[in-house]
């Protein structure tokens, strides 16, 4: 019961901020997509506190020289997303399910933004664990699948 309550709460919080996400993504898009980019990688830190870092990367794991401070407006939502569950005995499981919810939210945001027609591999990466979610399929990718 706690899982479904937690995930429904997370989903509602994310859905309420979809317009803000799309606005941030459209703002990033206005800067142009580097010709050398092969991937859009949206980094999420490991653990129960979330923030977001958007980057363009090449297939050999090199970042392009772009920084996008506009993503910081999403951090209060993401920092607070699991605050009701930090003392739960099920936090690890809820956190893993939340990763998938955040990936689905990012996919929805990219599809609703100016990035919808950009033909780059779009992924969410969870820092420090080499874990990735393909934002087209929401499937988990191993590190070697990501950087081939």
Helix (H, G, I), strand (E, B) or coil at 7: helix
The pLDDT of residue 148: 63
Average pLDDT in the chain: 84
The confidence band for 135, taking pLDDT boundaries of 50, 70 and 90, is very high
**What stretches of the chain show up as alpha helix (H) in DSSP?**
2-16, 18-29, 75-80, 91-112, 143-146
Q: Residue 76: what are its φ and ψ, rounded to 5°?
A: -60, -45
Please check whether residue 33 is in contact with residue 54, taking contact to mean a CB–CB distance below 8 angstroms: no
Please check whether residue 74 is in contact with residue 93, taking contact to mean a CB–CB distance below 8 angstroms: no
pLDDT at residue 130 is higher than 70: no
pLDDT (tens digit per residue) in 61-120: 888 777 788 888 887 777 777 777 777 788 778 878 888 888 999 999 999 999 999 999
Helix (H, G, I), strand (E, B) or coil at 18: helix
pLDDT (tens digit per residue) in 13-63: 899 999 999 999 999 999 999 998 999 999 876 554 567 788 899 888 888
What span, in angstroms and rounded, lies between the C-alpha atoms of 120 and 118? 6
The pLDDT of residue 48: 47
Which residue in 5, 28, 27 sits closest to 93, CA to CA?
Answer: 5
For residues 2 and 62, which has the higher predicted lDDT (pLDDT)? 62
Helix (H, G, I), strand (E, B) or coil at 87: coil
The DSSP-derived string for 68-81 is: -GGGGGGHHHHHHT
The pLDDT of residue 105: 93
Q: pTM of the entire structure?
A: 0.88
């Amino acid at each position: 019961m706690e899982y479904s309550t937690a995930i429904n709460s997370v989903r509602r919080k994310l859905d309420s901020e979809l317009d803000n996400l799309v606005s941030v993504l459209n703002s990033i898009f206005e800067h142009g997509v580097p010709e050398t980019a092969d991937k859009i990688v949206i980094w999420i830190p490991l653990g129960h506190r979330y923030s977001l870092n958007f980057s363009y990367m090449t297939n050999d794991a090199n970042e392009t020289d772009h920084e996008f401070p506009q993503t910081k407006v999403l951090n209060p939502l993401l920092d607070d997303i699991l605050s009701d569950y930090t003392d739960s005995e099920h936090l690890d499981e809820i956190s893993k399910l939340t990763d998938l919810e955040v990936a689905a939210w990012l996919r929805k945001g990219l599809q609703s933004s100016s990035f919808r027609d950009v033909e780059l591999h779009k992924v969410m990466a969870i820092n420090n664990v080499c874990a990735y979610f393909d934002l087209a399929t929401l499937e988990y990718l191993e590190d070697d699948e990501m950087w081939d």
